[in-house]
Amino acid sequence: MNASNTDARGPGLGLPFLLAPVIFIAHFLEEAPQFVDWFNAHVARGITSELFWTVNYTALAITLAVVALEWLTRTAASAVLVVAWFGFLFFANAFLHIVATLADGAYMAGLVTAVLLYLPFYAWVIARILRTRRLSPGVTAVSAILGAIPMLLHGYLIIFRGSRLF
């Protein structure tokens, strides 16, 4: 009996998946010099630089945990978590950067990494999950949408209402 018959885990996402934390770090480093000022220009109840870093370090810790869980377990549950978390962190955040840039008519800090790294990486994750058949297309879509909703709502409030979700 070969190992694939005894391993109950599904196929993994492969070594490129380990780039997720690096991609996230690249993004928040691009944002760092200007994001707090941009945010505070849009929302009266602004944020501090310390809050910016706390939020990003927390998101990095969650990203590392999601990557580790997926790498070690390769279950349907870990795949749902990957799709939802990166739907929030990469897909919806990239959408926020694109919409904010269009709405403001000016570059929003983080746009370059959002477009060049977040969107292609998330597309690769979704394609890989679907190719491995660990999740059905329907479960993948629902997971992506549910994951993205909080960031999309937060972005809408910031850009168009001058308020924030949290």
pLDDT score recorded for residue 38: 96
Does residue 166 sit within a domain? Answer: no
Does residue 8 sit within a domain? Answer: no
**Model confidence, pTM:** 0.91
- Does residue 10 surpass a pLDDT of 90? no
pLDDT score recorded for residue 79: 95
Does residue 7 sit within a domain? Answer: no
* Domain count within the chain: 1
The closest alpha carbon to 83, from 38, 127, 29, 51, belongs to 127
pLDDT (tens digit, 9 = 90+) per residue, 67-99? 999 999 999 999 999 999 999 999 999 999 999
Q: Could you list the residue range(s) of the whole structural domain that residue 57 is in?
A: 14-161
- Does residue 156 surpass a pLDDT of 90? yes
Does residue 42 sit within a domain? Answer: yes
Does residue 152 sit within a domain? Answer: yes
Does residue 1 sit within a domain? Answer: no
Does residue 3 sit within a domain? Answer: no
pLDDT (tens digit, 9 = 90+) per residue, 91-112? 999 999 999 999 999 999 999 9
- Write down the mean pLDDT value for the chain: 93
- The CA-atom distances, in angstroms, between 129 and each of 87, 111, 138, 163 are 13, 26, 12, 35
pLDDT score recorded for residue 15: 87
pLDDT score recorded for residue 9: 66
Q: Could you tell me which residues come within 8 angstroms of residue 90 by beta carbon, excluding any fewer than 6 positions away?
A: 23, 24, 118, 119, 121, 122
